[in-house]
Amino acid sequence: MDRRFACERDRRALETARAPVSASGARDTDRRYAGELLGMGVPRADKRMIATVEIDGCFADGVSVATGCWLGRRTLRVVDYGKVAATFVNVQTEVAVRIWPAADARARAEHFARAAPDRRHAQLAAYQVIPATQLLQTCYVRVNAKLVSTDSGRLICAGCSEEILNQRNVVREGLVLCRACTGDAYYTSVHESNFEACLRELEERIER
């Protein structure tokens, strides 16, 4: 699928909080869906809403624009499941809702834009007008992670001696550890003694 259409589908299908102003012209009545489900307006200028997106790319940017939740403000989280989905939390009430596009969204697009010259243009046009309740699926959820830290202190990991901020530490057998040292790391250390071997392996892969 052409990137323009894929991004428009993702943005319209899960621009879930519906900002008052949208570059693509989505209708004003559709732009506050997640906010309505949580009983709050969007986009937020405060930190009362926290969003967790399940994929990166243009979808994540769209969620930020629509909600006012940004990585730099610590109100946006990325948990990469490779899914066009997002969970929004009202920090004050702790009510959370997960929203994702309906499986038949593409089929509905063709129905709503029968005059479109092809399937791609049908999707681009229809995602502007399909009611949010038909385009999206929702589920109230409980978030299994601490989203708001109440202590800005710094802790030292007993395993690697690196600083841990925002209460993201894990305590194991009385030891304060970072998530990486508990085995939940997204990386593997390459020791200097093994660097040349790793470099050779990389070069071999490139040659293939």
Are 170 and 72 in contact by the 8 Å Cβ rule? The answer is no
- How wide is the angle at C-alpha 126 spanned by C-alphas 122 and 130, nearest 5°? 155
What residue segments make up the domains of the chain, in order of their start?
A: 3-141, 155-207
pLDDT tens digit sequence for 29-77? 344 789 999 999 999 999 999 999 999 998 899 899 889 999 999 999 9
The distance in angstroms from the start CA to the end CA of the chain is: 28
- Which is more confidently placed, 95 or 125? 95
What is the C-alpha separation between 171 and 97, in angstroms, rounded? 29
Q: How far is CA 142 from CA 61, 100, 146, in A?
A: 24, 16, 11
CATH superfamily membership of 3-141? Tubulin/FtsZ, C-terminal domain (3.30.1330.20)
- Which is more confidently placed, 105 or 28? 105
Confidence of residue 12 (pLDDT cuts 50, 70, 90): low
Q: How many residues are listed for the chain in this entry? A: 208
Strand segments, DSSP code E, in the chain are: 49-53, 76-78, 86-90, 96-101, 136-141, 155-156, 163-164, 170-172, 175-177
Are 37 and 62 in contact by the 8 Å Cβ rule? The answer is no
